[in-house]
């Protein structure tokens, strides 16, 4: 295998890990709460802006504390959104009601960002990490993409442990499968909803920080992030955490490979792969 091919696969996998992080919060939100959260893209953007703000206030702050601060800030916002608006909308049987509520929240959050920070692009200054590289067997790899991949995999690993090996995870899975029986068994439905909303928003914040480390973001970036999140969730299976990771890797590899073949493609082939898989699923009768 040539060094160039190895480098391309590395770039695709690291980008795919980032895409998976963008989608996992939405997958968790829909899989448990059954809410299509249209404000997820704005939560990702807010996570990036929180990280930029923390660096501005505390220069030299360790990356771990930046990630923790962004996670906690967005988690608190997620709880507030859930308790004040989304939970009430979920009382309606029509799934359009909470979806429209989250759309309204997305508009409010986006315009609040513009009012507070302006419309300029912002990025997270990672110092020498952005240019640092290492070589293995003649292939050159960027250290920053590797760091983002490690953070993404650690986040997925921690989420899997939380969902499949803790009491909270058992409550979440019970609530996802049969909310009526879960309520009869004494599970506090609203509390679990708030905890899931906090976790989903916190994961969105981590994705935002990773994005800000690699590229610039603006208050209007949320729509693009939401589109990628939807594609990751749909391809991976709605509500599937493992599926979100696999779908993110697929889309990341697709973008990097297509960029080598067609430098002007952008996300064209990423969206094309998404469309083709949807068509094949429709033909086979398996849409999720």
pTM of the entire structure?
Answer: 0.91
Write down the pLDDT at residue 23.
Answer: 93
Number of domains composing the chain: 1
Write down the pLDDT at residue 238.
Answer: 73
Write down the pLDDT at residue 44.
Answer: 96
* Tens place of pLDDT per residue across the chain (288 aa): 677 888 889 999 999 999 999 999 999 988 888 889 999 999 999 999 999 999 988 888 898 999 999 999 999 999 999 999 999 999 888 889 999 999 999 999 999 999 988 888 888 887 777 778 888 877 788 889 999 999 999 999 999 999 989 999 999 888 888 887 888 788 889 999 999 999 999 999 999 999 999 888 999 999 999 999 999 998 988 778 888 999 999 999 999 999 888 877 778 889 999 999 888 888 876 655
The CATH number assigned to the domain holding 65 equals: 1.10.3470
Alpha-carbon distances of 179 from 183, 187, 188, 209, 239, rounded to whole Å: 6, 9, 10, 33, 15
Write down the pLDDT at residue 31.
Answer: 84
Write down the pLDDT at residue 231.
Answer: 93
Helices marked H in the chain:
3-28, 40-57, 63-81, 87-90, 96-117, 143-164, 167-177, 179-184, 189-214, 222-236, 241-261, 268-284
The range of the structural domain enclosing residue 270 comes to 3-284
Write down the pLDDT at residue 105.
Answer: 96
Tokens of 44: 């990702």
191 CB-contact burial (10 Å; exposed 0-12 / middle 13-18 / buried 19+): exposed
257 CB-contact burial (10 Å; exposed 0-12 / middle 13-18 / buried 19+): middle
3 state SS of 170: helix
């Amino acid at each position: 295998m040539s060094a160039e091919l190895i480098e391309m696969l590395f770039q695709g996998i690291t980008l795919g890990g980032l895409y998976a992080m963008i989608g996992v919060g939405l997958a968790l939100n829909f899989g448990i709460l059954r809410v299509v959260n249209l404000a997820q893209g704005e939560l990702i953007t807010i996570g990036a802006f929180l990280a930029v703000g923390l660096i501005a206030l505390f220069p030299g702050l360790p990356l771990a504390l930046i990630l923790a601060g962004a996670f906690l800030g967005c988690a608190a916002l997620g709880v507030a959104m859930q308790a004040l608006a989304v939970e009430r909308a979920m009382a309606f049987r029509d799934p359009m009601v909470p979806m429209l509520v989250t759309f309204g929240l997305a508009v409010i959050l986006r315009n609040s960002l513009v009012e507070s920070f302006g419309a300029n692009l912002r990025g997270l200054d990672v110092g020498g990490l952005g240019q640092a590289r290492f070589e293995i067997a003649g292939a050159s790899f960027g250290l920053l993409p590797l760091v983002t991949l490690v953070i993404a995999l650690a986040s997925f690993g921690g989420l899997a442990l939380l969902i499949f090996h803790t009491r909270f995870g058992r409550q979440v899975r019970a609530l996802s499968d049969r909310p009526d029986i879960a309520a009869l068994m004494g599970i506090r439905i609203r509390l679990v909803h708030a905890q899931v909303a906090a976790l989903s928003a916190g994961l969105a914040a981590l994705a935002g920080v990773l994005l800000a480390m690699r590229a610039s973001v603006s208050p209007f970036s949320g729509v693009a992030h939401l589109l990628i999140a939807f594609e990751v969730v749909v391809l991976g299976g709605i509500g599937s955490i493992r599926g979100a990771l696999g779908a993110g890797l697929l889309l990341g590899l697709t973008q990097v490979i297509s960029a080598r073949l067609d430098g002007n493609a952008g996300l064209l082939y990423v969206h094309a792969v998404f469309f083709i898989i949807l068509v094949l699923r429709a033909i086979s009768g398996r849409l999720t």
